Amino acid sequence: MSELFSYVCLGVGIVFSFWGTSHLLQRRSVFFKLHSLSVADTLGSMAILFGLLLNRPSEWPLLLLAIICLAIWNTMLGYVLAYCSSGNGKND
Amino acid sequence: MSMSMSIILNWVILGMFVTLLIPIYTVWKDDDVWQKMLALGSISTKTSILILVVSVLRDDWMIGVVGVIILSVGNAGLMLLAHILKRLSDL
Amino acid sequence: MIGYLNLILRLVIWFLLTANLSVPNIIIGVTIALLLPHSHKVRGSLTDWLRALWGTIVAIPQAYMEAVEIIFRPHNFEEVTMEQVQPNRPPGLVFLDIFLITFTPKSIVLKYHEENGGYEVHWVRRRKKV
Report the DSSP pairing between strands C77-84 and C118-125. Answer: antiparallel
Q: Specify the pLDDT at position C41.
A: 63
Neighbours of C24 (CB within 10 A): 8
- Cα distances from A2 to residues A9, A50, A53, in angstroms, run 10, 11, 10
Q: What local confidence, expressed as pLDDT, does residue C1 receive?
A: 65
List of chain B residues whose C-beta atoms are within 8 Å of the C-beta of residue A66 = 52, 67-68, 71-72
If residue C77 lies in a helix (H) or strand (E), which one and from where to where?
strand C77-84
**Phi/psi at B31 (5° precision):** -95, -25
Could you tell me which residue, C1 or B52, shows the higher pLDDT?
B52
Residues of chain A with pLDDT under 70: 87-92
The H or E element spanning position B71 is helix B61-73
> How many residues does the structure list for chain C?
130
Is A38 at the interface with chain B, CB within 8 A? no
For B32-50, write each residue's pLDDT tens digit: 888 899 899 999 999 999 9
Contact C19 A75 (CB under 8 A): no
Which residues touch C23 (CB under 8 Å, ≥6 apart)?
Answer: none
From the CB of residue A18, how many other CB atoms can be counted at a distance below 10 Å? 16
Domain boundaries, chain C: 1-42, 57-130
Interchain CB contact of A30 with B (< 8 Å):
yes
Q: What is the DSSP letter of C36?
A: S
Percent with pLDDT over 90 in chain B: 41
Q: CA-CA distances (angstroms) from residue C42 to B36, C50, C90, C95, C125?
A: 43, 15, 10, 17, 39
Distance CA(C101)–CA(A79), nearest Å, equals 10
Q: Tell me what pLDDT residue A89 has.
A: 47
* Smallest Cα distance from B30 to chain A, Å: 9
Across chain B, mean pLDDT equals 88
User: How many whole angstroms separate alpha carbon A40 and alpha carbon A46?
Assistant: 9
Q: Does C16 touch chain A (CB under 8 A)?
A: yes
H-only helix segments in C19-82: 23-35, 46-72
Spatial CA neighbour of B56 closest among B45, B67, B46:
B67
What is the CA C16 to chain-centroid distance, rounded? 20
Q: Of B57, B32, B30, B27, whose CA–CA distance to B43 is shortest?
A: B27
Residue B34's identity, in one-letter code, is W
Q: Write the residue in A18, A55, A84 that is nearest to B56 by C-beta.
A: A55
Residue-range domain boundaries for chain A: 2-85
Average pLDDT, stretch C110-124? 83
Confidence of residue C21 (pLDDT cuts 50, 70, 90): confident
Q: What's the pLDDT at B50? A: 93
Contacts of B35 in chain A (CB under 8 A): 24, 30, 33
Containing C108, the helix (H) or strand (E) segment is strand C107-113
Per-residue pLDDT, averaged over B58-68, amounts to: 87
Chain A CB contacts of C75 below 8 Å: 35
Length of chain A (residues) = 92
Least Cα distance to A32 among B26, C129, C82, C108 occurs for: C108
**pLDDT single digits (tens) B21-32:** 999 999 998 888
Gap from A31 CA to chain B (nearest CA, Å)? 10
Q: Which residues of B touch A30 (CB under 8 A)?
A: 32, 34-35, 38
- Tens of pLDDT, residue by residue over C38-96, are 766 656 677 888 888 888 889 999 999 989 988 888 888 888 888 887 777 777 788 88
* Bridge partners (DSSP) listed for residue C108: C122
Q: Is residue C120 predicted with pLDDT exceeding 70?
A: yes
pLDDT at residue A88 in the model: 55
- CB-based burial, C59-96: b 16+ in 10 Å, e otherwise: beeebbebbeebbeeebeebeeeeeeeeeebbeebbbb
Tell me the pLDDT band of C129, cut-offs 50, 70 and 90: low
**The pLDDT of residue A60:** 84
